């Protein structure tokens, strides 16, 4: 990205400094510790007010900064002649700037992806498929919110042909705003689960919120969604744009057939191209669904089936999304510790128990967060997904998992069922390390806020610290 400061000032409705036409902005940053030369700094309000760090941003190489009216005088007195654009709201200015850059300066095709689970993996798969034929930029890390989406947009080079942008939400109105900002050519919903049910109360309301992604969909755009989900089929009937479905059921526009799951990959065929055999470097039927969504996007962009097959076979998986690793004792670890909800836990357990082993299958499950008043029963309800003959040992971690521990007490004896409160993570790690063998399989699954990545690291290092 390269733009003169006077143009940015005009876009965001700010008065430009006298020399603004001679200042070139080449990036954007909202963390003064990570600023690079040429960046415009955006002071946002979090635990601390970003306006406190404008001086630091300029010292680090920023060539300009936004600033709200309330901080204008004090900021200007601190930074002297440095270029400051005074705006009503720095976040809104960031979004307006990104929208201008996207729609006026670059104007790529936009693929927007959301869902209770699978949106990051689907984003990675979609970007890999489209990159076989186009210049593609995709969302990095978890930059999928009101801040991350505009930052992703502003990271594009001017020759970008397709932007694949992940969109997250935890309240009504968020996806509507993001979709309106990006105006996607293709909108994708991977699935409806229980993520953020604390705020939405029911899956119906979650589906309503996810459907906001089509609010900015271009009139000639395409809506791609999971046809196995009745809540989406019902709501899709009210969408005017073209739409296609994917799923495991044969009545979808693109259905998976002959799915074969292995520890480190999954193979499948699709109904549309029976002669093209697909493989993804991940386990799980749920990841096959993600691949189907990506294939439908590729089809919209006229990517050949063979090119899509090759792209999916080698795409790079974002860290901690159903990733197989080897522990210090030689055990195989399935790490899926970025997020969690009942639908996701059931899906990964369904595939985990199919992986052959000469040892034991051990499930380490952390709390599923943001489940609200239903949390107790949703945790306890996982009991029917755990069978001592398939998963020999269960380790439960966090206050909400006590409900599942109590429900499982009739199925597992005390030597195979363990509970740890949130202050006992190191004890959990130590007990796992003391009892794990090289031919065991371990599943780690929990919400990101439970920080099971620390347990993972202990298993990888053999460390009890």
Place of tokens 């999971």: 226
Measured CA to CA in angstroms, residue 431 lies from 134, 399, 400, 405, 436 at distances of: 49, 19, 20, 17, 9
Q: Does residue 366 contact residue 340 with C-beta atoms inside 8 Å?
A: yes
- For 112, the enclosing helix (H) or strand (E) is strand 109-114
Give the DSSP letter of residue 105. I
Instruction: Tell me the C-alpha distance between 2 and 154, whole Å.
Output: 9
Annotation-wise, does 173 bind a ligand?
A: no
Annotation-wise, does 119 bind a ligand?
A: yes
Instruction: Tell me the C-alpha distance between 450 and 369, whole Å.
Output: 9
Q: Does residue 11 contact residue 1 with C-beta atoms inside 8 Å?
A: no
Measured CA to CA in angstroms, residue 360 lies from 41, 110, 443 at distances of: 52, 45, 11
Burial of 173 (0-12, 13-18, 19+ CB in 10 A): exposed
- DSSP for 303-319 reads --HHHHHHHHHHPPPPT
Measured CA to CA in angstroms, residue 85 lies from 1, 76, 90, 456 at distances of: 19, 10, 9, 45
Instruction: Tell me the C-alpha distance between 402 and 365, whole Å.
Output: 11
- Among candidate residues 61, 63, 62, the one with its CA nearest the CA of residue 6: 63
Instruction: Tell me the C-alpha distance between 140 and 112, whole Å.
Output: 14
Annotation-wise, does 81 bind a ligand?
A: no
- Among candidate residues 244, 190, 189, the one with its CA nearest the CA of residue 215: 189
Residue 389 pairs in a beta bridge with: none
- For 224, the enclosing helix (H) or strand (E) is strand 222-226
Annotation-wise, does 116 bind a ligand?
A: yes
Burial of 194 (0-12, 13-18, 19+ CB in 10 A): buried
Q: Do the strands 24-25 and 84-87 form a parallel or antiparallel pair, or are they unpaired?
A: unpaired
Measured CA to CA in angstroms, residue 218 lies from 111, 181, 186, 265 at distances of: 11, 12, 8, 36
Annotation-wise, does 462 bind a ligand?
A: no
Residues of each annotated binding site: 115-121
Residues of each annotated binding site for ATP: 115-121
């Amino acid at each position: 990205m390269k733009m003169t400061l006077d143009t940015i000032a005009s876009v965001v409705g700010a008065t430009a400094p006298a020399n603004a036409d001679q200042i070139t902005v080449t990036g954007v940053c909202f963390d003064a510790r990570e600023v690079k030369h040429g960046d415009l700094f955006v002071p946002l309000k979090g635990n601390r007010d970003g306006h406190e760090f404008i001086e630091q941003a300029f010292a680090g190489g920023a060539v300009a900064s936004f600033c709200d009216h309330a901080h204008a005088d004090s900021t200007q007195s601190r930074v002297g002649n440095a270029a400051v654009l005074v705006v009503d709201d720095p976040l809104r200015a960031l979004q307006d700037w990104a929208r201008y850059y996207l729609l006026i300066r670059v104007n790529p095709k936009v693929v927007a992806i959301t869902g209770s689970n699978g949106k990051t993996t689907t984003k990675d798969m979609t970007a890999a498929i489209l990159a076989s034929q186009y210049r593609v930029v995709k969302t990095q890390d978890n930059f999928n919110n009101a801040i991350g989406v505009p930052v992703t947009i502003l990271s594009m080079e001017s020759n970008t042909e397709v932007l694949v942008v992940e969109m997250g939400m935890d309240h009504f109105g968020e996806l509507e705003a993001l979709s309106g900002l990006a105006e996607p050519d293709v909108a994708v919903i991977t699935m409806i689960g229980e993520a953020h049910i604390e705020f939405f109360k029911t899956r119906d309301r979650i589906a309503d919120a996810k459907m906001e992604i089509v609010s900015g969909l271009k009139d000639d755009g395409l809506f791609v969604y999971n046809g196995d989900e009745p809540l989406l089929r019902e709501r899709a009937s009210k969408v005017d744009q073209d739409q296609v479905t994917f799923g495991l059921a044969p009545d979808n526009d693109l259905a998976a057939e002959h799915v074969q799951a292995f520890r480190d990959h999954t193979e499948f065929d699709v109904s549309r191209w029976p002669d093209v055999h697909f493989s993804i470097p991940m386990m799980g039927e749920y990841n096959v669904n993600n691949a189907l969504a990506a294939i439908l996007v590729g089809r919209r962009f006229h990517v050949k089936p063979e090119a899509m097959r090759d792209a999916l076979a080698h795409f790079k998986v974002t860290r901690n999304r159903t990733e197989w690793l080897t522990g210090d004792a030689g055990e195989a670890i399935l790490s899926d510790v970025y997020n969690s909800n009942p639908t996701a836990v059931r899906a990964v357990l369904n595939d985990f128990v199919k992986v052959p082993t000469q040892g034991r299958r051990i499930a380490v499950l952390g709390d599923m967060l943001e489940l609200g008043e239903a949390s107790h029963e949703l945790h306890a309800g996982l009991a029917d997904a755990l069978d001592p003959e398939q998963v020999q040992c269960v380790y439960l971690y966090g206050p909400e998992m006590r409900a599942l521990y109590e429900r499982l007490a009739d199925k597992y004896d005390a030597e195979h069922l363990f509970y740890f409160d949130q202050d006992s993570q190191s004890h959990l790690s130590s007990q796992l390390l003391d009892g794990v063998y090289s031919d065991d399989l371990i599943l780690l699954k929990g919400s990101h806020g439970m920080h099971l990545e620390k347990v993972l690291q202990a298993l990888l290092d053999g460390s009890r610290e």
